[in-house]
Structure 1
Amino acid sequence: MTTVGAVRRRLFGIPSAKAVFSRPGFAPEAWERFAPVATSLMEGYHAALEDPRMPVLAARLEAVEPSLKGFAYEGAGMGLAALDAIAPWKRRLEAFAAGPGARHVYPVYVGVGLAYARLKRTPEAQLAALDPLLGWVTADGYGFHEAFFKRRRYVEQHAVPTRLSRHGRQYFDQGVGRALWFSNGGVVDRVTRLVAGFQPDRHADLWSGVGLASAYGGGVDEAALRALLAHASAYRPQLARGAATAAWGRRTAGNPAAHTDLACRIFCESGSDDAADVVEEAARDLPVISVEPRYEIWRRRTEDRFAT
């Protein structure tokens, strides 16, 4: 670690992942089941702060266990976005997303959204500098952060972000759904009860986030996933889209996981490879110019395929 890196770690580092999971409202199962996820994300975040030089950072991230590598890249995206806020002329995030992080660009952008929330930046104001399709994923990361760290306001009081567009709020809610899964330790009854407390027009995006998190992060067995589907049967296409997106992300990165395949078999009624094919096919021939974000068209195409 460089001297400058040590200073950045002291100033911006997160002292304890376990302490984060011990906050009021979190289920005891959250840390028990997702400690490796949180630890990997922290490793990526601190690695970026300590030494953001591409070869050094990439080597540290690639040393993480394959099934958890996406979370480490998410943390790195968060760290690099924070560093770029301090020294924007260095454009570290752009170089990383086009280089070592290219195969993991989806979780990298989720991490960027986490940084935007901490920096109080609106994700949509930063889109011009990001990938035109996946840049919107930063709103998902933003929503995850707010629901995870400001639970009372965004989970218990169901606050709606005021600085986001209609589409931005949808992706924000997808992030909230992911936060509900991890902060509640994948306990199906708790997650279901919390989703039900939101306005009905937010449920579809919340469930898509739950589907993505349960497929990508795992944490539960087949019986729990089937119980989840039973509770959210009206939103099966959203659960399926979330799971298929997780499968696509893992295939793109080359880090498949058995729990992702299991979730796809339950929510998508197909293996993870077939589910990933649906997502990949939906991304073909997206319009270059559209009133709606390309990301929204991609999501809807994927969802429609599973609805039929």
Structure 2
Amino acid sequence: MTTAGAVRRRLFGIPSARAVFSRPGFAPQAWERFAPVARSLMEGYHAALEDPRLPALTARLDAVEPSLTGFAYEGAGMGLAALDAVSPRKRRLDAFVAGPGAPHIYPVYVGVGLAYARLRRAPEDRLAGLDPLLGWVTADGYGFHEAFFRRRRCVERHAVPARLSAPGRRYFDQGVGRALWFSGGAQVDLVARLVAGFPPARHADLWSGVGLASAYGGGADEDALRSVLTHAPGHRRRLARGAATAAWGRRTAGNETEHTDLACRVFCGRGSGDAAAVVAEAARDLPVISVEPAYEIWRRRIEEALAV
């Protein structure tokens, strides 16, 4: 580690992943089930802080166990976005996304959203420099951060950021739903109670986040996943879209897992390969100019295709 890297780690590092999972409101099972996820994300974050040069950074990220690599890249996205905020001329994130981070662009942008939340920067103010389709994923990362690290305000009081548009709030809620799955330790009854506490208009996107998190991060067996369907009547299409998106992200990065395939079979009625293909097809020929975000059109296309 360079001297500069040691200073950055000391200033911006996160001392303990386990301490975060020990905060009020987190289920005891959260750390038991998702400790490898948390450690992988922190490894990526600290790797970016310590040495953001692409060869060194990529070597550390790719050393993570394959099923967890996406979380390491998410952490790297968070770290690089934070460094770029301090030294904007470096544009480390752009080089990363154009290079080794390209197959992992979805989790990388989630990590960028985490950084924006920590820096109190509105994600929509920075969409112009990001991928025109997936840039909106930063709002998802922002929502995850708020539900995970500012739980009282976001989860207990159901506060919504003032500087998000209507679409941005939907993607924010998707991130909140993902955070509920992880912080709830994949305990379906608990997660369902938390979702039910939010205003009904927000439930669809919260459940889409649950579908995405349960498919990408795992943590539940088939019976538990089927019980999610029981707790979310009317939202199967959102759960399916979330699971299919997770399958697409993993297929793009080449780190498919059995738990992703299981979630797709439960929520989508098809295997992860077929679900990922639906998501890829839905991204074809999206309008360059539109009143609504291309990301919203993509999400709707995925839901409609999975409903067939």
| CA root-mean-square deviation | 0.5
2:281 match: 281
2 CA distance for matches of 1:233 and 1:283? 27
1 CA distance for matches of 2:24 and 2:278? 39
1:82 match: 82
Give the drift of 1:307.
Answer: 2.7
1:177 match: 177
Any idea what SS the aligned residue of 1:18 has? helix
Structure 1 residue ranges, 4+ long, deviating more than 3 angstroms after superposition: none
1 CA distance for matches of 2:293 and 2:234? 25
Give the drift of 1:306.
Answer: 2.0
Any idea what SS the aligned residue of 1:88 has? coil
2:160 match: 160
Letter in 1 for 2:78: M
Deviations 1:21-52, CA, capped at 9 Å, x for gaps: 00000000000000000000000000000000
Counterparts in 2 of 1:86-235, with a 5 A limit? 86-235=86-235
2 CA distance for matches of 1:163 and 1:304? 30
1 CA distance for matches of 2:161 and 2:79? 23
Counterparts in 2 of 1:28-39, with a 5 A limit? 28-39=28-39
Structure 1 position 43 matched with structure 2 position 43: yes
2 CA distance for matches of 1:250 and 1:108? 13
Letter in 1 for 2:114: L
1 CA distance for matches of 2:306 and 2:255? 24
Deviations 1:173-201, CA, capped at 9 Å, x for gaps: 00000000000000000000010111111
Any idea what SS the aligned residue of 1:289 has? coil
Give the drift of 1:233.
Answer: 3.0
Q: TM-score, normalised by structure 2?
A: 0.99
Q: TM-score, normalised by structure 1?
A: 0.99
2 CA distance for matches of 1:263 and 1:299? 18
Query: In the comparison of the two structures, how many residue pairs are matched?
Result: 308
2 CA distance for matches of 1:82 and 1:159? 24
Query: Which residues of structure 2 form unaligned runs of 5+?
Result: none
Letter in 2 for 1:49: L
Deviations 1:6-27, CA, capped at 9 Å, x for gaps: 0100110000000000000000
2 CA distance for matches of 1:93 and 1:303? 31
1:64 match: 64
Letter in 2 for 1:22: S
1 CA distance for matches of 2:276 and 2:230? 23
Give the drift of 1:137.
Answer: 0.2
1 CA distance for matches of 2:270 and 2:307? 14
Identity fraction in percent: 81
Give the drift of 1:305.
Answer: 1.6
Query: Which residues of structure 1 form unaligned runs of 5+?
Result: none
